[in-house]
Amino acid sequence: MVRQRIEELRRQLEEHNHRYYVENAPTISDFEFDSLMRELQELEAANPQYADPDSPSVRVGSDLTTEFRTVRHRFPMLSLGNTYSLDELHEFLDRIRRETGREPEVVCELKFDGTAISLTYEHGRLLRAVTRGDGAEGDDVTANVRTIRSVPLRLRGEGWPDYFEIRGEVLMPYASFDRLNAEREAAGEPLLANPRNAAAGTLKQLSSAVVARRGLDCTLYQIAGDEIPFATHMAGLEAARGWGFKISDKMRICRTTAEVDDYIAYWDKARRELPFPTDGVVIKVDDFALRRQLGFTAKAPKWAVAYKFKAEQALTRLVSVDFQVGRTGAVTPVANLEPVLLAGTTVRRATLHNAEQMAQLDIRPGDNVYVEKGGEIIPKITGVELSDRPADSRPFVYIDRCPECGTPLVRYEGEAKHYCPNAGGCRPQIIGRILHFIRRKALDIEGLGEETVELLYDNGLVHDASDLYDLRADELAPLPRLGEKSAENIVRSIRRSTEAPFHRVLFGLGIRFVGETTAKYLASHFRTLDALMAATREELIEADEVGEKIADAIRDHFADAENRRIVERLRKAGLRFEAEAREQASDALAGKSFVISGKFRDHSRDEMKELIERHGGRNLAAVSGNVDYLVAGENMGPAKLKKAEKLGIRIISEEEFTALIAGARTVQADRPATDDAVSGNEPAGEKIPGGNGRDDDAPRQGELF
């Protein structure tokens, strides 16, 4: 009975997911859906013998970090030729007619502004998801793509090939993008420029749980395979829709140049009402036989082209320039504009980035300026209408003092922005650091928004993050908009934050250039805050994801007496400054010291280091006489190799390292659980069997770009 109920819940949730994310036609409320999901999760937790990697419950992703394997595309993902000119588009259509001797039907479809993806299905189940990469090889991002609700893990209906690929675009809808930027703004982080970059960056997150929370979508637009049972592009996509894929309903068959022009003209305006970004129209020959006749160039198919929409511009007056100070002290100029309608929204402000850009544009208050939306989202000034400039206009003089505290600004070598160095006395910097400390990905203190933090600071209750742990409910309750219940909840959340793991505490300290992922690497590598604070520049650079810039920022942060004082107060408050102890798997490496260097095939460097510690060994950051083994991967530093050889240290490969612990009983448990089918087994650089008399490296039928 339990298994039957689990299967029934999975079936229901898969159906509701499809209705909500693919058909946009939900039939139950969010509350009802969540109730079914909770029941399934509880049953699966109590009955692990019925686990299924394709269960709807796994769509939340995992907090385990993974690195991405490189996979060779079975069918190359070629680029598209593109044009901004209708005349050039007409020439493309005329060439198609001349070379085929007929008036072929073409499919017009929206050009989605996201990141390209190739999904492979075998026996009706998602096998692998790979990014475009360089067109020949891409990154295996299967774990992340499995969290995207519009991607089917198992196909519906019937008639699908036993093995095929389907290509498309991973998108970040405007609603998800706006929510993500709102969270970043509240945390004092720089805003993401556009949904396209946000989608690409999200897809390469090391934590699939982060991907799941960001609300990506996926629309598919081409089937690829050796035995595709369709004669036309449109027929294949209509079939794919029935298999459960999200296929655009905006496609249209066009039979004349005029129909193509009408389609483009319509969507050049109507695209502003869409919930996701588009940047053009793709025109493809529908008939597969004609595609084969037309063939390919070295980089692109000759049967398709992309017409790119021109960015919408508006002319308005620059009223004034404000300057904002972030938590790191970075000063950003912001243009205040006379309100103007642009891409469906009213624009009043636009970023000016830095002094260099302002000088390059020679922008001055009172100018009439051209504004467009970068990536259709972030307004930016692209030029000045010089013919409207008054004769007595004077060049803009960039500020040399902080607009908040009056401290002389500095500009660091290699950076375009100016900075206020008064970290301890500049109000927006102090408040920004506290907001960063309490954000969800750091200490996750609930009830403290920006207004409340400003209230606490202005009333002298907090001057830095460590003061939060001295707050009492009776101090907070009398403040405006709080009260006893809110005050008690805030204090309770502050106390609960002492349970946050070390890597989140480290992220919350707000060290320049140390983001969430880098904090995880540092916590895993150094294990304790004391070890991190004592690390030399060379030792810091040995950690994954840490280069010279980040290493210098870490050393500068902890060299500051005020930052060290805050650390000691946080230590007394009970925050965790040490990574959780790892479960010992064996003593196979007991008494041995290792240095890991280079890139490895089967393990990330962090996984190698964890294996060493779990089997009794010790990780060292630098080559010295205390090292027993140097585990050498690809692209390791020649200086390190030379020093190891000079000291007589044994240099071993990844395979030899694995052999050292081969007798340990839980070696395999240390590695991430993978299915051979999703690990990317095609060897990099291996030629694809032709099978049809063509050159092995030439594009094959059914491929996508």
Q: Tokens for 638?
A: 């020649």
Distance CA 698, CA 702 (A): 12
Q: Tokens for 21?
A: 């994310």
Distance CA 637, CA 563 (A): 34
Fill in the amino acid letter for 291. R
Beta partners for 410? 419
> Residue 338: phi, psi to the nearest 5?
-65, 130
Counting Cβ atoms within 10 Å, is residue 562 exposed (0-12), middle (13-18) or buried (19+)?
exposed
How many CB atoms neighbour CB 383 within 10 A?
16
Angle between helices 257-270 and 86-100 (to 10 degrees): 150
Counting Cβ atoms within 10 Å, is residue 279 exposed (0-12), middle (13-18) or buried (19+)?
buried
Distant-in-sequence contacts of 695-699, Cβ < 8 A, 24+ apart: 698/296, 699/75, 699/76, 699/78, 699/296, 699/301
How many CB atoms neighbour CB 498 within 10 A?
14
How many CB atoms neighbour CB 186 within 10 A?
15
What 8-state DSSP symbol labels residue 83? E
Q: What is the dihedral of CA 433, 494, 215, 127, to 10 degrees?
A: 110
Fill in the amino acid letter for 86. L
CB contact burial 635-644 (16+ within 10 A = b; e otherwise): ebeeebbebb
Distance CA 652, CA 596 (A): 10
Catalytic residue among 111, 373, 380, 520: 111
Q: In the annotation, is 111 catalytic?
A: yes
Distance CA 299, CA 228 (A): 23
Distance CA 566, CA 563 (A): 5
Distance CA 568, CA 564 (A): 6
Fill in the amino acid letter for 146. R
Neighbouring residues of 616: CB distance < 8 A, sequence distance ≥ 6? 584, 586, 587, 588, 589, 590, 591, 592
The answer to whether 110 touches 177, Cβ cutoff 8 Å, is no
Active site residues: 111
